[in-house]
Chain A
Amino acid sequence: MAGLSFDLIALQLFAGLALGAIYVLFAIGLSLIFGMLTVVNFAHGAFYMVGAYVGLYLISIGGNFWICLVAVPIVIGLFGLAVERVLIRPLYGRGIDYPLLLTFGLSYVMVECVRIAFGKTGYPFDTPEVLQGAVDIGVGYFPLYRLFVIGATAVVLLALWLFLEKTSYGLIIRAGARDPQIVRVLGVDVSRVWLIVFGIGTAIAGFAGLLAAPLQGVIPEMGGTILAEAFVVTVVGGMGSIGGAVLAGLLVGVVVSMTSLFAPEMAKVSIFALMAIVLIVRPQGFFGRAGLMS
């Protein structure tokens, strides 16, 4: 263990937060959609992947990264709206497994379409020039782009929090996640709320895919890996809980990052070990409501 200084550990902690930030963005959408619509969105990873590819495409036709930051969530969000309206809506009221199977199939279709359009091999995704390099954060030099990822995630979370806590629409969403029937009785067209929640969730997934692209490049299968890891995040945080997704996302990021420092071969397993430990101590996750799945 020689050479493991405090600074190195601190830097690795930051790297874990940057990794965790991507998990958080991915998992809040997954959690929001599940909490509200009781749809386990197996296509969430595919939306994430398509977000990265839309960014790649926009840059190839002359756009820049900043345009992508705005355009990608809009494009993916609109795509999400269409998917909910056309494919998922007819399945409400038929039990949790119908939309699950549908989105599972949809993710295969989306991955295959991207393979046809962009090829099976991946592409590198350049870090925008102003975000290249590293900055001194006190304990050592840390890649500027990773700091940007943490910052951008914080901005999205803040915006989402303001939207949910301070607007009427947010009030409807918070109430509808607990009791859709009373919201209906109070005059709200719940199906429209579900549509918007699905759009928001997928837009954030697309945004996360774009943010992740410069870190790991883009390949058609990039959504599958993160989907499995994000399910761990939502289970640890508590299904349907946004606060839980944030806390668990960061925790999972840090755990992966730390185990890859001390025992790299354990890094991937560590996520599932964490999940097992949390589930033994607290089966509903950090902030989960017991019985939500029943």
Chain B
Amino acid sequence: MLQVSQLNAWYGASHALQDISLEVTRGEIVCLIGRNGAGKTTTLKSIMGLMGRARGSVIFKGEELLRQPAHVRFALGLAYVPEERRIVQGLSVRENLRLGLVASKHKKREAELIDEIAVIFPRLAERMDQEAVTMSGGEQQMLAIARAMIAKPDLIMLDEPSEGIMPVLVDEMFELFRSMKAQGTTVLLVEQNVELALGIADRAYVLDQGAVVHQASAQALLADDEIKERYCSV
């Protein structure tokens, strides 16, 4: 579904990604792990089209994305939940969800899809008309995920969804990722909580200093203390 090859990206003069290659197959949960600054977020941003300067190749469902702007990538079925969540100030929960549909081909089914998402996220259903930024961090994260899911993307990229969220909500969230996978959504996950992420992932790539240094099945990596120690311990 997604083939990234020889991807390079820069922040100004700093060469943030160096020849990243990775692949995600339909229906998989693939995880990117590594220390802070290893290039995980930059990889997701480059795939979504948010890096000013990127070279290489990003092929999604057979189409080369690298020269396409972010909104075209969305239309092709790519969704991205950024680390900072980006819940829009001044908008209610419902309006944030509507925002996830304004540019989607499902726009006409707005009411129906919002009802549908409210069943999956009961916490949001109770707060539909509340201003979204007044909710807790965990609820805002749920909203950010719901806003990305509502347009039914083929591949959803999540950046550090568990960060700063209380454990009970994290469990709920990871349960949700499992059921998303069961329903056929492909997931590319960046996560600091390595054990948790590998618990639901099929495969993982280990990044260090802007490059892929290791790849393995999630099971194999869970058992590989040396790799985890070398590239993931803080």
- Residues of chain A having any CB pair with chain B under 8 Å: 168, 171-172, 174-175, 178-179, 181-190
Contacts and interface: CB of A to CB of B under 8 A. Distances in A.
Contacts of B71: 184, 187-190
Contacts of A186: 74, 99-100, 102-103, 147-148, 151
Interface stretch (B57-65, B82-90, B191-199, B224-232): B82-90
A179 B89 CA distance: 9
Given A179-B88, A188-B102, 6 more contacts: A172-B102, A174-B90, A178-B88, A181-B86, A186-B147, A189-B69
A177 to B, nearest CB: 9
Nearest to B103: A187
A178 B95 contact: no
B104 interface: yes
Interface in B94-108: 95, 98-100, 102-104, 107
A175 B70 contact: no
B88 A168 contact: no
User: Which of B48, B79, B82, B86 has most chain A Cβ within 10 Å?
Assistant: B86
14 contacts: A172-B99, A175-B88, A179-B86, A179-B88, A182-B88, A184-B70, A185-B50, A186-B100, A186-B103, A187-B151, A188-B102, A188-B103, A189-B103, A190-B71
A209 B48 CA distance: 44
B89 A184 contact: no
Contacts of A190: 71
B110 to A, nearest CB: 8
A174 B74 contact: no
Nearest to A182: B86
Given A168-B102, A172-B99, A172-B102, A185 B88 contact: no
A184 B69 contact: yes
Contact of A171 (B70, B82, B102): B102
B170 interface: no
B99 A171 contact: yes
A60 B69 CA distance: 47
B75 interface: yes
B222 interface: no
B205 interface: no
Instruction: Please classify how large the interface on chain B is, using the bins under 10, 10 to 19, 20 to 34, 35 or more.
Output: 20 to 34
A190 B103 CA distance: 11
Nearest to A177: B90
B88 A181 contact: no
Contacts of B89: 178-179
A249 B36 CA distance: 49
Contact of A182 (B82, B107, B151): B82
A267 B89 CA distance: 39
Contact of B98 (A168, A178, A183): A168
A168 B69 contact: no
A284 to B, nearest CB: 15
A294 B89 CA distance: 19
Contacts of A183: 99
Contacts of B100: 186
B80 interface: yes
A238 to B, nearest CB: 13
B77 to A, nearest CB: 10
A182 B75 CA distance: 14
A245 B147 CA distance: 32
B117 interface: no
B141 to A, nearest CB: 14
Contacts of A182: 82, 86, 88, 99
Contacts of A174: 88, 90-91, 95
Contacts of A181: 50, 86
Given A168-B102, A181-B50, A187 B88 contact: no
A190 B102 CA distance: 12
Contacts of A178: 88-90
Contact of B95 (A171, A179, A188): A171
Contacts of B70: 184-185
User: Which of B48, B74, B82 has most chain A Cβ within 10 Å?
Assistant: B74
Contacts of A171: 91, 95, 98-99, 102
A189 B73 CA distance: 11
Interface string B198-211: 00000000000000
Contacts of B69: 184, 189
Contacts of B91: 171, 174-175
Given A171-B95, A175-B99, A187 B86 contact: no
Q: Which 9 pairs between the two chains have the least Cβ-Cβ distance?
A: A187-B103, A187-B74, A182-B86, A184-B70, A175-B88, A188-B103, A168-B102, A189-B71, A187-B71
